[in-house]
Amino acid sequence: MARTGTEELRRRNRAALLEQLHRHGPQTRAELTEALGLNRSTIGALATDLAESGHLQETTGRSTGSAGRPSTLVECVPKAATVAAVEIRARSVRFALVGLGGEVLERTESGLDEDADPMDAVAVITGGTAAEAIEAVAAVPGLVDAGVVAHSTELGWAGRDASADLEAATGREWRVVDTATAAAVGEWSRGDAHESTKLLYLHGGRGLTAGLVIEGRAQRGGSIQLGHIVVKPGGLECACGLLGCLEAEMEAFAYTEDIEHATAAAGLGDAAARDRLRRAGQDLGRALGAVVTATGPDEILFGGWLRELYLSAAAPVRSALAETTLPHLRSKLRLRTPVLGEEGPLIGAAEAGFAAVIDRMR
């Protein structure tokens, strides 16, 4: 149970102030007073508090054009708290060091040999910076449960304790999240999906997963294994052992290039390519229908190579969705593509780290 006393109140307010600045960027003390509903004097005390601890920086106010004394601007000091984020993929490992406030301070990508262990690549790519960071978060494409990757089509893992293995390889603790949920968090917090109250992010890598963010919070229990929704009972055998999984039925498409080739061919009048795209869109739409009925999102983002598929086959996706969901669920559903692109998972993973940091302050 949480510690109590009046100090708790102070901690809560300090954390709330820092969170406000981290999420909404630099603000004046006057704006903070409004946003947090606290008194001017209290905001002043909190701000100097956090400035002394090095988390914030106060710059003397510039005139806003309107009357009155200009308010001092308060902003996060990025290097005051950094989070190391990595995204593990089948053939590469990506790394970003993100500072408080959301600024990306470093960024690297490293290819991966077929037989190399990604954990070693993480150790190399993060180098010394992982130790400096206050939190380290790894995004893994698949079903993650308490640091353990229960299932990952892309990496071929089942039951691998990624948290422990990363710690062994790098010498520090890691938080493990799934790529789709991370990307959903990223698009919600730093993309343009902030209005969504139930955001479903579809991640197309070697496997298909989805992440759900409800009112800005990652859905407990991790990602949705979109690729293992059964769209055709008794259909093609999937690597997971089930029959008729979406992933198995759509196997013809597994990478962005496949879609690009097919789109180009379809544009040149290749009827077979057009048909492949149409059927893939239809399969996706059907699986999506079940997920939409079960979760009721108000926004869906097509990420990874699903972005290309959606852009090439929006019509079949939409019509299959229309055939498998109730009108009311469709009526407030927006289908879009993400704005952070390949950065989404890294940014979202970092946000998961910052959320932990701020929670710990309370």
Partner DNA sequence: CGTCATATGTTGCAGTCAACAACAAATCTC
Partner DNA sequence: GAGATTTGTTGTTGACTGCAACATATGACG
Could you give the string, one character per residue 50-89, with x where binding to DNA holds by CB under 7 A and - elsewhere?
Answer: -----------x-x-xxxxxxxx-----------------
Cβ distance 137 to 350 under 8 Å? Answer: yes
Continuous H helices in the chain: 6-24, 29-36, 40-52, 118-126, 129-132, 162-170, 179-190, 246-249, 256-267, 271-295, 305-312, 314-324, 327-331, 344-361
Residue 52 contact, options DNA, its own copies, none, Cβ 5-8 Å cut-off depending on partner type: none
Backbone CA torsion sign across 210, 212, 218, 220: negative
Residue 190 contact, options DNA, its own copies, none, Cβ 5-8 Å cut-off depending on partner type: none
Assign 3-class secondary structure to 54-82: CCEEEECCCCCCCCCCCCCEEEECHHHCE
Residue 90 contact, options DNA, its own copies, none, Cβ 5-8 Å cut-off depending on partner type: none
Q: Does 331 bind DNA (CB under 7 A)?
A: no
**Residue from 73, 104, 134, 240 in contact with its own copies (CB under 8 A):** 240
Which region holds residue 51: left if phi is over 0, alpha if psi is between -120 and 50, else beta? alpha
Q: Which stretch binds its own copies (CB under 8 A): 114-122, 264-272, 290-298, 301-309?
A: 290-298
Smallest separation, CB 223 to DNA (Å): 37
Smallest separation, CB 38 to its own copies (Å): 6
Residue 296 contact, options its own copies, DNA, none, Cβ 5-8 Å cut-off depending on partner type: its own copies
What number of CA atoms fall less than 13 Å from residue 149's CA on the CB side?
Answer: 25
Q: Does 45 bind its own copies (CB under 8 A)?
A: no
Nearer to DNA (CB atom), residue 30 or residue 180 = 30
Q: What is the DSSP string of 257-326?
A: HHHHHHHHHHHTT-HHHHHHHHHHHHHHHHHHHHHHHHH--SEEEEEEHHHHHHHHSHHHHHHHHHHHS-
Smallest separation, CB 149 to its own copies (Å): 10
Q: Does 221 bind its own copies (CB under 8 A)?
A: yes
Nearer to its own copies (CB atom), residue 77 or residue 239 = 239
Pairing of strands 104-111, 148-151: unpaired
Could you give the string, one character per residue 6-45, with x where binding to DNA holds by CB under 7 A and - elsewhere?
Answer: xx-xx--x--------------xxx--x---xxxxxxxxx
**Residue from 32, 100, 208, 214 in contact with its own copies (CB under 8 A):** 214
Q: Does 230 bind its own copies (CB under 8 A)?
A: yes
Bridge partner residues of 96 (DSSP): 85, 107
A 10 A CB-CB count for 266 gives 19
Smallest separation, CB 47 to DNA (Å): 7
Q: Does 222 bind its own copies (CB under 8 A)?
A: yes
Written as six digits, the tokens of 151 are: 């299932």
Which region holds residue 148: left if phi is over 0, alpha if psi is between -120 and 50, else beta? beta
Written as six digits, the tokens of 228 are: 């293992």
Q: Does 92 bind DNA (CB under 7 A)?
A: no
Smallest separation, CB 26 to its own copies (Å): 20
End-to-end distance of the chain based on CA atoms, in angstroms? 12
Distance CA 345, CA 85 (A): 9
Q: Does 156 bind its own copies (CB under 8 A)?
A: no
Residue 253: closest CA among 201, 216, 305:
305
Nearer to its own copies (CB atom), residue 29 or residue 94 = 29
| Chain residues that interact with DNA, rule: CB under 7 A | 4-7, 9-10, 13, 28-30, 33, 37-46, 48, 61, 63, 65-72
Residue ranges that bind its own copies, judged by CB under 8 A = 1-4, 6, 8-9, 13, 35-39, 42, 143, 145, 150-151, 158-159, 197-198, 214-215, 220-222, 224-225, 228-230, 233, 240-243, 286, 289-291, 293-296, 323-329
